[in-house]
Chains A and B, each alone.
Chain A
Amino acid sequence: MLFGRKKRNPIKIADKKVVDWKYTTCGYCSTGCSLDIGLNEEGRPVATRGTADAKVNRGKLCVKGIFEHELFDSAGRGAEPLSRLAADEEFQAVSWDAAMDSMAAKIQGIQNEYGRDSFAVVSTGQIMTEEFYTLGKLTRGLIGTNNYDGNTTLCMASAVSGYKRSFGSDGPPGCYDDFEHTECLLAFGSNLPEQHPIIFWRLKEALEKRKFPVIVVDPRVTMFAQFADIHLPVTPGTDLVLLNSLAHVILDEGLDDRAYIQTHTNGYEKFAELVGKYDPLTASKICGIDAEMIRKVARIFAKAGAAMSIWTMGINQSTHGSDGVVAINNLSLITGNIGKRGGTSLSITGQCNAMGTREWSSCSGLPGYRQLENPEHRREIGKYWGVDEDFFPKQRGMTMTDIFPAIEAGEVKGLWLVATNPMTSMPDSARIRKCLEKLDFLVVQDAYRDVETNQYAHMYLPAALWAEKEGCFTNTERRVNLVRKVCEPHLNSKPDHWIFSNLAKRFEHSKRMKFPETTAEIFDEMRELSVGTMVDISGLSHDLLEQEKGIQWPCSASQVIKAAETEDRYLDRIGSSRLYTNGQFQYADGRAKLHALPFVDNNEVPCEEFPFWLNSGRVVEHFHTRTKTGKIGNMNKYSPTPYMEVNPEAAQEQGIKQSDYVRLVSRRGDAVVMAQLTHRVAKNALFIPFHFHDCVNRLTLGLLDPYSRQPAYKQNSVRIETIDQKLAAKINLEMRDY
């Protein structure tokens, strides 16, 4: 020692006494990070670390993953199934058998009285792919309602719809490795550092090795915008205009890949004619980006040897979200940037298994990207499941965002919510509350009893949390990752697939069907069904997924066998980094489609009465409706209470000081938030994190995209009112009381 005590106590450093590390996959976002949960001698989870040789995260984790072991014992977990006759009565604990019996009877009762479609099922992006598949089998094969959707309609529907329109199928064509090869990154409405920190790190790592231009389009000066080489602070809701104009410049200046367009696309003429109208000068007046900048960005993108686009909710959550996605795909197609290293159009997905539900849940069709509209698919699945093919509807039913208005209209009488919390997550909370109140029967199935929607439930089913069970998640880059079971489910909660299978037994027809006990057996069914489809996972198994730390589909059995025969360290080679590498798309003629996308301004633009744009988004320390992250002090403390970002100049005009509470008013309702003065937002714009209960979604309108039915969360108008600070503090405290 240099100085200090000569005789000192021994150095003590916290030792959590981990005796075993269990491999699993993070259950928050879609990045798909592998992590190890440390168990102590008693088998309790006490530590988390990023898996050292993980393909995605290479040992890193974000703040949420780092504390994921604390979830198992977090406050508010459900212990027993609960039941009550009306939402204003007290819940009574019931046995699982009684709960399942009564639930099946209620569903059938409602369906008998009002028709099959009067009972709706809304699931999630949070449970395992095997569970999605099982829920799909139950809903499509036994319950038989066509009003079955996932909350992915709130986040990824526009990406799905856009991919289908451009390429003939869903499925993100690129991967994180594209950062290592691209020569230009164009990011739309994506705040990677905050929303997908580990994907941002992968980008950062690529940039450490090799500099390439990063262009960020975002009305808000996010951390990503700040670090970008070029930031385009676009006018909210006008990204389609900017995209059309970029295409205009590329075609106008002959920077397009004519050979690729001619060989691999349809629809060029109409597309060219449409973008012809969006010259940079005209566009600049609408989207707020000057003409010279539009030309410059178009040139950088088109001249790059390989250029990629990424986007998240800034594109998806708008009235022309699907069009925005298609427009991004258009840019990639006309420059030949699909299916090549560093050239892609990559949707950065939201939930840990949003992809899993898209692939296997049968929400929008049938498993393995099959469609209800296709008689061959109906026949195939009907036969495999042991269900009469005519039992399947011939067309997709309502989406989540249409199911709620259908409750309002009295068409839907019963609702089953699986791991989703519309009271906080859906736009126009007041309207959602009214819908929930109207239901004859609401089942909430969630790991947390205190999930806000439970307030209206007639039945609550306590579900096991993420790593209290085993199964797969698919991440943003189509990597199927394995979640290993780390510990037993909390008290008497059960894995979601157990609940689905046990409910299925209550339906008469289930005797002719199979509902396997384990997720590994369920995975075998999916493997068989995937053969010959785009989402081929026949080469995968749970053990192989752990060994390889995830594999990107498609990955056929023959590919794995062949790789095993030819290579020593073969396993790095299996799976598929990219889709459409041969320029063959999923449309019947193998060509992608260029769409002409006219811009219609139907946003709720600010006016005299409501002079501010209201934008919402995510913060790194919270996930979705804070059901999980709000319980963990070491994350929640970074934003324990809702706030809005407001420009200091606007604040001054309104007489608002830093940390004052304000009341925001829209045409739908009001919300109380704390003011954070920052130049991150424009003088006529506000930003509020969407995670908080009874907050931003009391204000949002949520107009629906005509293709994806996804709500426009990010373009609403509000006004600011002052409020008595003591009253506001009281209101705020009550709203945090879960």
Chain B
Amino acid sequence: MSINRDHEPEYASLDSPCVADTNVYGNPIDLIASSTVEVGTSMYINADPSVGETPNRNKQHGFHFTADNCIGCHACEAACSEKNDLPPHLSFRSVGYVEGGSYPDLKRMNISMACNHCDDPVCLKGCPTNAYTKHAEYGAVLQDPETCFGCGYCTWVCPYNAPQLDPLEGHVQKCNMCVDRLEVGLKPACVSACVGNALDFGVIESIPENRHQAKTSIPGFPDPEISKPNIRFQQSSENPKEFKRTDSEHIKYRQSEQSDVYEPVVDLKSSEEKHWNLGKLSSRENPLVIFTLVTQAVIGAFVIAFFGGLSGMENMGMIASSAVASPILLLLAALQAFVLVLSTLHLGKPLRFYRGFNNLRYSPLSREALAVSIFFGFLPVLAVLHAMQFGFLNILEAGAIQANFLPWASDSMLKLSATVLISLAVLIGLLGLYYMHMIYRIKARPFWDHWQVLSSFFGTMFSLGAVLLGLLVLPLIWFSSVSLTSLIVELLPFVAIGLAIEALGHFFHARDLKEGGKEGAASLMLLQTQFGKTYVLRNGVILLSLLAALLILMFSQQLFNTSGLLYAFAGGLAMACLFSSIVSRALFYVLVIPTTMPGAFFWKNKGFEEHARETGLAKMPQVGVVELSH
């Protein structure tokens, strides 16, 4: 389809000059030097080999938004959706607003936002499938839905709501800068459609005619340091000290006392009353709750049993070098396989799961996926090795395989390889957990961007790992020489350590969130109000469990005599651990408030989307809200 036509109005033609060598972030505006392509390379848009003749084609381009002028008329959003043939529930560009002042001195500031084709594209770096490319042509950050497997991670890291996860199609799409229009010398569709003369486009740092500012931020816009976005603003009319959001997010923006920058602060919106809201703990991310907890428990159980065994722990040694070792490894493998499948099904396109390792260079998600997969791969191998060495329950005798199939393999060889493999598995398992935590260290998600994620993941590894191990050994105890009582006593310290680390993490997390203000403080406020009662219970359970674990350890000698009581305590403790872990992890996902663009009253308002799904409005396609998958 030809885009060019006769009599194209002047406002649509792209002819901005390049006015500087570097942008405000100090990066070169010319992109050729830092790229591997040559000047005049075709972009092969829809397989078209032609090359655009646009001047400054290899310069970083960006949007210029005159916030003073935006009337919130939706023409930009509509032109974009019309051009890109988008269904109502998606939009590459959205207009939200903030409001300040009081009648009649009201100021509503509309903000039209799409992809900012950042200097530091966090989407590209986060994407495990490598679906993103930053091009030397216009500096466009383009995403390929055919590569994407729909994990939605880019939607977590992007502060501007640019990537759009389509729950119906199961993949992400986003603004393509209208590179097809740029190639024929036209501004993007949204810019050409703007009715308020607010939106413009050109080489970054060039200021459009009749405008005089090129600011990097306006109230409501996330900290540009997160990704160094290529958008500049003019906003010269007087502002109120405080801007409120109309959407359901508990955030407003206040002018900081030191500068004229507006910072997000907590907006209470509802009462400070404490609620349970247990039903709201369940979310779209439930599979991730299970995946992270189980993976951490499996790695924990493995580390405790086998590394413990190697390092001379009595009961662990008995388990690790007995006929129950192999079945335990197989059970761990089965459990890990189950949650890997679960997390794969969480993807929009599960069959593309293998693409998860495509971006080891940048993506913590790729690295985690690889590490956990390798760890998982070690488990069956180790199960075979242990079956050879120690037999398999009473089904297979130690040495039987060796004698029949591998007469050349000596016992010491087997032992050495097991030791090496266990050490490697422990290492890669711990590395997996580290990268699992790195997935959540997202600047645009202050609630997550804290070392508490690490403490929580490792805490769970110890506490749930010990619980899992105990549960696995329980039915097999008849096959080993381990006594249940001594097993409990040996596992208890791990539970206690795990709980202590977890508790410590929660304490410092809450303190730092409160001090840090912004979206993190808002998440904390929600935790303490909307989930206030659940929060108190969760904290109580962790503290009581820790106390109980310590008490049992202290009085274990006395309890030995009444093993029934010990088992009851241990069982109760295991349940408490499981409860607090699940609640904590569910809260972890539902409470996060992203640093992102303000929405409108209906559109891009999470509160309305939830309401529409609850009441059935979402069943009408024209409402623009679709059911979430999973």
Contact of B603 among A53, A59, A200, A637 (CB under 8 A): A637
Chain B positions 212 through 224: 1 when the CB is less than 8 Å from some CB of chain A, otherwise 0: 0000000000000
Contact A205 B9 (CB under 8 A): no
Closest CB in chain A relative to B49 CB, distance in Å: 10
Interface centre among A2, A9, A66, A647 (most CB of B within 10 A): A2
Contact A637 B624 (CB under 8 A): yes
CB contact under 8 A between A4 and B134, given known A59-B12, A59-B192, A638-B600: yes
Residue of B nearest to A53 (CB): B7
Interface centre among B134, B139, B197, B602 (most CB of A within 10 A): B602
Q: Judge if A639 is at the interface, Cβ distance under 8 Å.
A: yes
Q: Judge if B36 is at the interface, Cβ distance under 8 Å.
A: yes
A53 neighbours in B (Cβ, 8 Å): 6-7, 9
Contact B195 A201 (CB under 8 A): yes
The distance in angstroms between the C-alpha atoms of A659 and B599, with both chains bound, is: 14
Report the interface size for chain B: residues with CB under 8 A from the other chain: 90
Which residues of B (28-51) have their CB < 8 Å from a CB of A? 31, 34-37, 43-47
Contact B34 A2 (CB under 8 A): yes
B608 neighbours in A (Cβ, 8 Å): 659
Contact A67 B179 (CB under 8 A): no
CB contact under 8 A between A221 and B617, given known A8-B144, A659-B611: no
Q: Judge if B196 is at the interface, Cβ distance under 8 Å.
A: yes
> Which of A12-20, A295-303, A322-330, A369-377 lies at the interface with chain B?
A12-20
> Which of A92-100, A112-120, A626-634 lies at the interface with chain B?
A626-634
The distance in angstroms between the C-alpha atoms of A53 and B10, with both chains bound, is: 11
Residue of B nearest to A726 (CB): B615
> Which of B71-79, B393-401, B562-570 lies at the interface with chain A?
B71-79
Contact B44 A62 (CB under 8 A): no
Report the interface size for chain A: residues with CB under 8 A from the other chain: 78
Q: Judge if B620 is at the interface, Cβ distance under 8 Å.
A: yes
> Which of B104-112, B286-294, B493-501 lies at the interface with chain A?
B104-112
Contact B104 A221 (CB under 8 A): yes
Residue of A nearest to B2 (CB): A18
Contact of A8 among B104, B133, B600, B612 (CB under 8 A): B133
The distance in angstroms between the C-alpha atoms of A197 and B88, with both chains bound, is: 22
Q: Judge if A636 is at the interface, Cβ distance under 8 Å.
A: yes
The distance in angstroms between the C-alpha atoms of A640 and B604, with both chains bound, is: 13
Contact B269 A657 (CB under 8 A): yes
The distance in angstroms between the C-alpha atoms of A119 and B264, with both chains bound, is: 63
Closest CB in chain A relative to B8 CB, distance in Å: 5
Contact B179 A676 (CB under 8 A): no
Contact of A679 among B106, B193, B620 (CB under 8 A): B106
B75 neighbours in A (Cβ, 8 Å): 60-63, 66, 197
Chain B positions 78 through 112: 1 when the CB is less than 8 Å from some CB of chain A, otherwise 0: 11011111111100000000010111101110000
Q: Judge if B351 is at the interface, Cβ distance under 8 Å.
A: no
A422 neighbours in B (Cβ, 8 Å): none
> Which of A342-350, A467-475, A680-688 lies at the interface with chain B?
A680-688
B101 neighbours in A (Cβ, 8 Å): 679
Contact of A208 among B7, B79, B81, B197 (CB under 8 A): B197
Q: Judge if A596 is at the interface, Cβ distance under 8 Å.
A: no
Contact of B78 among A9, A63, A200, A204 (CB under 8 A): A63
Closest CB in chain A relative to B221 CB, distance in Å: 20
Which residues of B (582-628) have their CB < 8 Å from a CB of A? 600-603, 607-608, 611-612, 614-617, 620-625
A641 neighbours in B (Cβ, 8 Å): 602, 617, 623
The distance in angstroms between the C-alpha atoms of A66 and B93, with both chains bound, is: 15
Q: Judge if A678 is at the interface, Cβ distance under 8 Å.
A: yes
Closest CB in chain B relative to A389 CB, distance in Å: 49
Closest CB in chain A relative to B187 CB, distance in Å: 12
Contact A5 B622 (CB under 8 A): no
Which residues of B (131-154) have their CB < 8 Å from a CB of A? 132-136, 139, 142, 144-147
CB contact under 8 A between A223 and B72, given known A193-B196, A682-B104: yes
Q: Judge if A11 is at the interface, Cβ distance under 8 Å.
A: yes
Contact A634 B81 (CB under 8 A): yes
Contact B46 A11 (CB under 8 A): yes
Contact of A733 among B106, B180, B600, B615 (CB under 8 A): B615
Residue of A nearest to B12 (CB): A59
Contact of A10 among B46, B78, B81, B106 (CB under 8 A): B46
Q: Judge if B1 is at the interface, Cβ distance under 8 Å.
A: yes
The distance in angstroms between the C-alpha atoms of A402 and B139, with both chains bound, is: 64
The distance in angstroms between the C-alpha atoms of A12 and B147, with both chains bound, is: 12
Q: Judge if B491 is at the interface, Cβ distance under 8 Å.
A: no
Interface centre among A194, A231, A676, A678 (most CB of B within 10 A): A678
Q: Judge if A1 is at the interface, Cβ distance under 8 Å.
A: yes
Closest CB in chain A relative to B239 CB, distance in Å: 12
Q: Judge if B423 is at the interface, Cβ distance under 8 Å.
A: no
CB contact under 8 A between A680 and B108, given known A633-B622, A733-B616: yes
Residue of B nearest to A738 (CB): B620
Interface centre among A621, A638, A639, A643 (most CB of B within 10 A): A638
CB contact under 8 A between A223 and B71, given known A13-B180, A680-B108, A733-B616: yes
Closest CB in chain A relative to B10 CB, distance in Å: 9
A12 neighbours in B (Cβ, 8 Å): 45-46, 144-146
Q: Judge if B130 is at the interface, Cβ distance under 8 Å.
A: yes
Q: Judge if A52 is at the interface, Cβ distance under 8 Å.
A: yes
CB contact under 8 A between A16 and B602, given known A4-B130, A62-B73, A226-B108: no
B142 neighbours in A (Cβ, 8 Å): 11
Q: Judge if B155 is at the interface, Cβ distance under 8 Å.
A: no
A204 neighbours in B (Cβ, 8 Å): 69, 195-197
Chain A positions 189 through 232: 1 when the CB is less than 8 Å from some CB of chain B, otherwise 0: 00001100110110011001000000000000101011100010
Contact B210 A60 (CB under 8 A): no
Other CB < 8 Å A-B pairs besides A1-B37, A193-B195, 6 of them?
A1-B133, A48-B82, A61-B79, A200-B196, A221-B104, A636-B624
Q: Which 4 A/B pairs are nearest by Cβ-Cβ distance?
A: A637-B624, A633-B88, A4-B133, A53-B7
List residues of B whose CB falls within 8 A of some A CB.
1, 5-9, 11-12, 31, 34-37, 43-47, 69, 71-75, 77-79, 81-89, 99, 101-104, 106-108, 124, 130, 132-136, 139, 142, 144-147, 176, 178-180, 192-193, 195-197, 210, 246, 248, 269-270, 358, 600-603, 607-608, 611-612, 614-617, 620-625
20 contacts between A and B (CB under 8 A): A1-B37, A2-B34, A2-B35, A5-B147, A8-B133, A9-B147, A15-B1, A59-B12, A59-B192, A63-B77, A200-B195, A231-B104, A621-B74, A630-B622, A634-B86, A635-B74, A637-B624, A638-B603, A683-B103, A729-B615
